[in-house]
Amino acid sequence: MNTALVIGGTGPTGHYVVNGLLQRGYQVAILHRGGHEVDEIPAQVEHIHVDPYDEASFLSGLQDRRFDLCIASYGRLRMIAENMVGRCGQFISIGGAPAYAGYMNPQLPSPEGLAVPTAETAPLVTAAEQDEKGYRIVRTEAAVFELHPDASHFRYPFIYGKYQLVPREWCIVRRILDQRPFIILPEDGLSLCSYGFAENMAHAVLLAVDKPQAARGEIFNCADDTCPSLRQVVEIIAAALEANVEIVSMPFHLAQPAWPLVGQPLPTHRVLDTAKLRYCLGYRDQVEPAKALAYTARQLAAAPLKKGGTEEWVLQDPFDYAAEDALVESWLRACAGVEAPEYSNEPPGIGLAYSGPGGRPRSQSEFTS
């Protein structure tokens, strides 16, 4: 029987990966601190409780064991990669999209913001002063492939679903639970940001196990196949919780209550190109994002986070409804005072190429084929 070591295993994607390996006939061990366990991990899985951030602790748990497969999803990846040399057959590592120049520092590229979509060949962070976290990720990726030239590396987006660490959906769900009549969004909520449902992202990693030849020596972007706008995310969650919520749109610099939802200092897009993952490994979403968002929202509503707790502190959302009410009142008052100008000729139009509602009128009263 083939053996697999999963470093991590109790995070959002972990139990999907572990159970996927069991279904593929692997004997699985998970290495983690043991601070918490998840019910989805079957009793037959071995637990190695050591600290994957501390080399001495990690080696004490590893001892002289060897595995056919190692999936490193947690801990100090460079240290883990170095100590797994000669101890595993296939090495799969998981990192993040902040490797791209502009992902965490949208002012870095010119023009500002990432290219849409962002492929694996896009420029990476090249210096700590550009983005220290991104630079560490880039250096770690390089170290992985120096040590394991045949490794497969996955750049994760933000993950959502059960056990997610920073649930942006809570910013919406709590306002609905608190019966807020509106949610403020910047620029009509048209920003796009790639996210990945936990089950979908685990599926992507498991495809490298199924197709080792195609995955060998490659880096893959990971994300759901479709990328709903921020406005669509709000609408999907509101529908899932059977709530009527008005969306109040205003410029980004004024829409500060929505900044925790955007998660960056500009409303530019962060869309990962997953063509390589789809065409080389055959990836397709296992759960459609609208259903995954609805599931996540209902789960948060059924087990609400602690108000003022760690997650809200990390999100930096104060849920200051008095301030939001004052902001919306001021904004609507300002909008009401704006008068439309009188144009000397015809007012601006949508363009004659547009034939949808309100566009170019038909040239004939009746349709003829």
Band (19; pLDDT cuts 50, 70, 90):
very high
Residue 63 gets the label, from left (phi > 0), alpha (psi -120 to 50) or beta, of left
Model pLDDT, residue 346: 86
**Kind and range of the H or E run holding 169:** helix 169-177
Average pLDDT, the chain: 95
Contact (Cβ atoms closer than 8 angstroms) between residue 193 and residue 53: no
Model pLDDT, residue 356: 82
Q: Which domains can be identified in the chain, with CATH numbers? A: 87-333 (3.40.50.720)
Please give the angle made by the CA atoms of 264, 262 and 182, to the nearest 5 degrees.
145
β partners of residue 192? 229
pLDDT > 90? residue 161 = yes
> Hunting for tokens 């694996």 — which residue is that?
120
Q: What is the mean pLDDT of residues 162-174?
A: 95
Model pLDDT, residue 361: 72
Spell out the SS3 assignment of 247-263. EEEECCCCCHHHHHHHC
**Per residue in 262-271, pLDDT tens?**
999 999 999 9
**Per residue in 214-238, pLDDT tens?**
999 999 999 999 999 999 999 999 9
What is the chain's alpha carbon radius of gyration, rounded to the nearest angstrom? 24
Nearest C-alpha neighbor of 99 from the set 64, 141, 67, 40:
141
pLDDT > 70? residue 369 = no
**Per residue in 284-337, pLDDT tens?**
999 999 999 999 999 999 999 999 999 999 999 999 999 999 999 999 999 999
